[in-house]
Structures are given as structure tokens and as C-alpha cells.
Amino acid sequence: MESITLSSKGQLVIPKGVCNDAHLTAGAPLQVLYLDGEIRLRPLPDLSLSSLDAVAGCLFKPVRKPLTEAQTQTAIQAKLKTLDAQ
């Protein structure tokens, strides 16, 4: 276990070995929790925007049959009606 010191500005330097083990890079978002007398840092998931090319086809299922245009419009209208009813 390594020791670190809080700076006068309230900053901490996370040791390189810990950063490597946790796969942290500069600017990585962290959640700070104070629980039962402990300060815990937890990496937050990377929520950066994906490009369309990176996610294109991710919902494709070979066994799924495509809907007709009429079926698509009916499904959209039904969903909108349920949202309006709420």
C-alpha cells in the first residue's frame, strides 16, 4: 500500500502503478465517495459519443424479419399513443 499526500489545493496524485492497474489516463472521470470513514475513488465509464460507423449494425439479428413500412408506421404510432397517455 502506498501513501500519498493531499496538496494545499486539495489535490492528490494517484501513483503510476495504481493508474496502470486501474487503466486510468489523464482526464479520466472518477466518482468520489465517503463511506464509513473511507474516501473511495471509482472510475466512471467512458460515455464519449460513438460514431455511427462504430455502432452500425449492432442491433442486427439474422433471424429477425424486417418490418414493412406500414408495420413500422403502425408501431411508431402505437408507441407515441402510449407516451402521450402518460
**Which residues have a Cβ under 8 Å from the Cβ of 15 and sit 6 or more positions away?**
2, 4
pLDDT at 46: 75
**What total number of domains does the chain contain?**
1
Answer whether residue 33 is part of any domain.
no
Residue 38 falls inside a structural domain? no
Regions of the chain where pLDDT drops below 70: none
CB 70 within 8 A of CB 63: no
36 falls within a domain: no
35 lies in some domain: no
CB 41 within 8 A of CB 34: no
30-35 and 38-43 beta bridge pairing: antiparallel
Residues 14/3, Cβ–Cβ less than 8 Å: no
Q: Which position has the grid cell 489523464?
A: 26
Residue-range definition of the domain harbouring residue 74: 55-85
**What global pTM score does this model have?**
0.49
Please check whether residue 12 is in contact with residue 30, taking contact to mean a CB–CB distance below 8 angstroms: no
